[in-house]
Structure 1
Amino acid sequence: MRTYSLDDVFETRKRRDSWWTVYFVDPVACRVALPIANHTRLTPNALTVLSLVLGAVSATCFALNHHVAGAVVFYLSFMIDCVDGKIARLKGTGTPFGLWLDYVGDRVRVVLCAGGLAYGQYALTSDVRYVVLGAAVAVLDLFRYVNAPQMKRVREAVREERGERGPEPESDEDIDSLERVALVPRARRPRSFPRRFNRFLARHRVRSHLISGIEFHAAVFVVAPLAGAWALIPLAAAAGVLLLVNEVFLVYRMWRFTRRHGVPSSQESREHVLV
């Protein structure tokens, strides 16, 4: 059996990822993935199941109002969830079922932990705001992860129509770059602060979307519980608003892209792509 090095594991990191993952999870996940890859036969699916079990433990801690323990276990759950992807890419053992399991497991973990927080605080205080908090967190998470694949399908439909006119953008950053190239000639494009900032983030593997679902989870299930019960509602509300703003921005940018590179009117019936 091949022996992997830490550099091999580093190569499995995503080209760009959330800042929470890059700075607070990957440094641990890569070092955990190395002995798992070299000394165990754990599969990515087994790690995904372990992550889900830890998520259920975290939810139980929240329901019992052990917030610090719940936050620590949630972090471990998410870290193991990152390890399973690294093992899959390192050994080439990823499967379509594994993708589904990982996706559904993440949603189940969030719903369980949101319910645990809401139940624990409501049982302790009888404050209905915590019930609203749990429901809002679950709904926002589901919206984020239902909206994302639909936007991806829209982009793929547009890319298919543009296939003969240039390379296909591989990410939201590529789409944004294509828009700027189309709007401003290369020789005259200004080196604006947003462009310099995006390049800085890219050098550090950080996505330009600084508030995503991952940061939302970290704020609600790690940072707020560690800060104390008083922080649950204000931090969750602030993170939720920032997540919604990010989603609106992504939808707006997708709309701009489809307006400029959209499907010709003769093929407007392609809206069935989204069904």
Structure 2
Amino acid sequence: MLVSMRTYSLDDVYGTRKRRDSWWTVYFVDPVACRVALVVANRTRLTPNALTVLSLVLGMVSAACFAADQLVAGAVVFYLSFMIDCVDGKIARLKGTGTPFGLWLDYVGDRIRVVLCAGGLACGQYTLTGEVRWVFLGAAVAVLDLFRYVNAPQMKRVREAVREARQLPVLDEDPELLDEVPLEQLPLEPRPREPLPLERVAPERAPRPRSFPRRLNRFLARRRVRSHLISGIEFHAAVFVVAPLAGAWALIPLAAMAGVLLLANEVVLVYRMWLFTRRHGVVSSQESREHVLV
């Protein structure tokens, strides 16, 4: 007896998108990735892990293009690699076929792609010019990316440690910080919100007029765009797509500008985490030592 396979609609695929995402992904990647995911889901048997491997292979091809000074080709292939990387998560959530190994493979594959492409850019331009500045460019891009993806989970971990120690409800979760962690590392179902203890219920206050940052955040939220507009994804797009398409002259200026903005974004996130720890107090010294040692 043949069992018919479910046919997915574009609305089904749209339902797998992140609640809030980078503006680069929302406007320049998802419109393509959702349609590719629809075809993959309905017409192929490709698994999320297979798509992740394909994304990594395309990343290697992009790095080879950069090393051969084929900047436009490298930029196009890098975009395809990132787009496929978005498709694998959509397929995993659409079909419920994600695995813990797939999370690891996706995370490590992203880091390998960035390091290889940074090395390819540096190698290609250094071979042409013999200028050491290109070596520093490749190293700086790789270090910034690794710092970004090491810092985000650690910040989330600190907040969870404070919340657990102070028995804080999920209401105190910072949605912007959650957006800094890849969606694949977050639970698929939202955690239930606990009621506030009576002693922590604040008295009713008169509604205050919304400030411009709050209005801007709501405006962006309606369009699924995160309020911090420069993150790792925009950094990758600037260095590996926009700059190569503009030409070799743009590689260092755009990478430097994107790197400074990325660092500024990380400083803001760390500052907000620090405010959170101050607002709710710190865990005991014994708990602090345990978290450092783990």
Q: Report the TM-score when normalising by structure 1.
A: 0.92
Structure 2 equivalent of residue 159 of structure 1: 163
Structure 2 equivalent of residue 45 of structure 1: 49
> What does 1:109-148 align with in structure 2 at a 5 Å threshold?
109-148=113-152
Structure 2 equivalent of residue 193 of structure 1: 212
Structure 2 equivalent of residue 31 of structure 1: 35
Q: CA RMSD in A?
A: 2.0
Alpha-carbon deviation of 1:185? 6.8
> What does 1:87-236 align with in structure 2 at a 5 Å threshold?
87-163=91-167, 167-169=171-173, 171-172=175-176, 186-236=205-255
Q: Which runs of 5+ in 2 are unaligned?
A: 180-200
Measure, in 2, the Cα distance between the counterparts of 1:8 and 1:186.
Answer: 41
- Asked if structure 2 preserves the Cα contact closer than 8 Å seen for 1:4 and 1:38, the reply is yes
Alpha-carbon deviation of 1:171? 2.3
Equivalenced residues, count: 267
| Structure 1 pair 165–7 and aligned structure 2 pair: CA distance change class (3 A) | closer
Q: Report the TM-score when normalising by structure 2.
A: 0.87
Alpha-carbon deviation of 1:209? 1.2
- Asked if structure 2 preserves the Cα contact closer than 8 Å seen for 1:74 and 1:222, the reply is yes
Structure 2 equivalent of residue 179 of structure 1: none
| Structure 1 pair 113–173 and aligned structure 2 pair: CA distance change class (3 A) | closer
**Aligned residue identity for 1:24:** F
- Asked if structure 1 preserves the Cα contact closer than 8 Å seen for 2:177 and 2:269, the reply is no
Q: Which runs of 5+ in 1 are unaligned?
A: 176-181
**Aligned residue identity for 1:227:** A
Measure, in 2, the Cα distance between the counterparts of 1:103 and 1:273.
Answer: 23
Structure 2 residue 284 is the aligned partner of structure 1 residue 270 = no
Alpha-carbon deviation of 1:190? 2.9
Structure 2 residue 41 is the aligned partner of structure 1 residue 60 = no
Measure, in 1, the Cα distance between the counterparts of 2:226 and 2:202.
Answer: 23
Measure, in 2, the Cα distance between the counterparts of 1:238 and 1:186.
Answer: 43
Structure 2 equivalent of residue 2 of structure 1: 6
- Asked if structure 1 preserves the Cα contact closer than 8 Å seen for 2:156 and 2:178, the reply is no
Tell which deviates more after alignment, 156-165 or 16-25: 156-165
| Higher helix proportion | 1
